[in-house]
A = this chain, B = another copy of it.
Amino acid sequence: MSNTFGNIFRLTTFGESHGVAVGGVVDGMPAGVKIDEEKIQAWLNRRRPGQSKITTPRDEKDQVRLLSGVFEGVSTGHPIGFMVENTNQHSKDYSNIAETYRPSHADYTYETKYGIRDYRGGGRSSARETISRVVGGALASMMMEGTGISVTAYTSAVGTVELQKSYKELDLSRIEDSIVRCPDAEASEQMIAEIEKAKADKDSIGGVITCVVRNLPVGLGEPCFDKLQAMLAHAMLSIGAVKGFEYGSGFAGARMRGSEHNDPFVFRNGKVETETNNSGGIQGGISNGEDIYFRVAFKPTATILKEQQTVNRGRENVSLTMQGRHDPCVVPRAVPIVEAMTNIVLADAIMMNRSAKMPF
């Protein structure tokens, strides 16, 4: 269960790696939104495998097909069904793992939970599941078009290579110039080298994505359980390889004093602003008009080509050597996924916020 995300703007997804298709339904899209199928495809192309030398060479076209909810290029207020067919799946690649639990994968937990496991390519736990998230996020972003709201993510660390600059010091228009999606040219090169080294070692490497939301109006987020940061954290930690989330001052904020951490308000240029932004644009769970920024930690890809110790279904201790085409680092391809989930959270928060005030 729980293949639906969101309260009013809701994404429901389906699909496994080697099933017929992955896809989903966006419900709660208001009528009158311009829907551009090519832009959705452009989002998917940023996520797709085989896009550069540091991603898996698998060639998945990931062609999206909208099935409903759009009429003459505009949303009708009805659910938008969509699908992406699975076309490049080699079932035999995975036959050797039908009987063996890959370390740090979902094989063992799925099989124990469900008593049955679609072992082909990880089934539902495959990264192909994120295709539906990217389509949902692309649709969400169209709802916000023309509002000035921007959602931008980039790679801020790969392994021990960490970008030391704040997002304010970076030229975020340069992100897509880099195959690792880091806007700083120098750091980008180091990160690529780090990934290539891991790959050469038949190993994998983790990393961090930073995401920035700008021009959000004041008032998004709900005060208690659905604070904006709580919805963002939920969204981020629901992405397969994510291990941590922090926003604004984050873990560093825990080391600070209140006098240092508090963001003084100031009225200037006809606006209430804050002098600093340790709050990360959210106060009391609600956007305050400042930039929202957060960091998301990704573990190294669980699939590595080195020999590993593990257990099989017969409860024997065995060794396993994986083969096939895998990403040595998920982070570059996860950048649009982080952006997509952020857009979904914001679209939902915008819709929820419509219920805040009278009159109607």
Contact = CB atoms under 8 A, between A and B. Distances in A.
B30 A356 contact: yes
A33 B358 contact: yes
Contact of A19 (B68, B123, B233): B68
A218 B309 CA distance: 20
Contact of A267 (B70, B201, B238, B317): B317
B250 A109 contact: no
Interface residues of A, number: 158
Interface string A196-223: 0010010111111000000000110111
B67 A23 contact: yes
A151 to B, nearest CB: 17
A163 to B, nearest CB: 12
A243 B238 contact: no
Interface in A64-104: 65-71, 74, 76-81, 83, 101, 103-104
A298 to B, nearest CB: 6
Contacts of A39: none
A248 B257 contact: no
A78 B260 CA distance: 31
A234 interface: yes
A56 interface: no
Contacts of A255: 157, 159-160, 206
A226 to B, nearest CB: 4
Contacts of A77: 113-114, 116, 223, 356-357
A125 interface: yes
